[in-house]
Amino acid sequence: MAVFRDAIRRFNRFRRLQKRKFLLACGFDLYIKSQDRDVLERTIFPYVLKRTDLSEILFVGCHWYTKGYSKWFEEKNYWTLDHDVEQAKYGAGNHILDSIENIRLHFEAGVLDVIICNGVFGWGLNTREHADRAFNGCYDCLREGGLFLLGWNDVPDHAPFPPAECESLKRFSPFVFPAFSASRYLSDSASRHIYDFYVKPPATEHLARK
């Protein structure tokens, strides 16, 4: 009897492993949610949601796991943007099919409160020229005091250069995210996913730094 129970346990374990391999092969990398995405959903989103002064939100970079984010932000004016037509079905009702480099074509200057650009740098946004165009556009579209979150993987395949080297990001000021007491958070994941937090400073502060 004990041998039979042991065989059942081993068979069930084999089935679970095969299921996980199948899901991973199909791209379902959240069968076990990555720690960096858990931080995004459990720590970063709640902070944005509770701040009543943050209502105009743009989320850049869509995939199957972002589809439910519209529900999170249903009390906000929530936009998504992605250049890939295949990802449009995972975007918000207010979805823009375009590259982040062209953000100024879709938003007036100073109208956005938050821009979350996650998994875009190093995944298509791969040169300094393109990154500077994108980040300068984000700066222009944010209001003073608006937040810019850049999520990126600090691994050779997806970090063509340190994003902090971009001249466009030097226009921002670091934003100390309250939950981390820092302007950067390195997640405990194989991808070494980093969240960098920035804020658009008042015009007087920006001029003083020049």
Residue-range domain boundaries for the chain: 1-32, 33-209
SS3 (DSSP) at 200? coil
In the block, tokens 């989320």 appear at: 59
Helix, strand, coil % (nearest 5) of the chain?
A: 45, 25, 35
- C-alpha angle 72-77-56 in degrees, rounded to nearest 5: 110
Task: Give the confidence band of 190 by pLDDT, cuts at 50, 70, 90.
Answer: confident
Task: Give the confidence band of 9 by pLDDT, cuts at 50, 70, 90.
Answer: low
Write the pLDDT tens digit of every residue in 120-140: 998 888 999 999 999 999 999
Q: Which fold has domain 33-209?
A: Rossmann fold (3.40.50)
Q: Between β-strands 193-199 and 173-174, what pairing exists: parallel, antiparallel or unpaired? A: antiparallel
Write the pLDDT tens digit of every residue in 150-186: 999 998 888 899 999 999 999 999 999 999 999 999 9
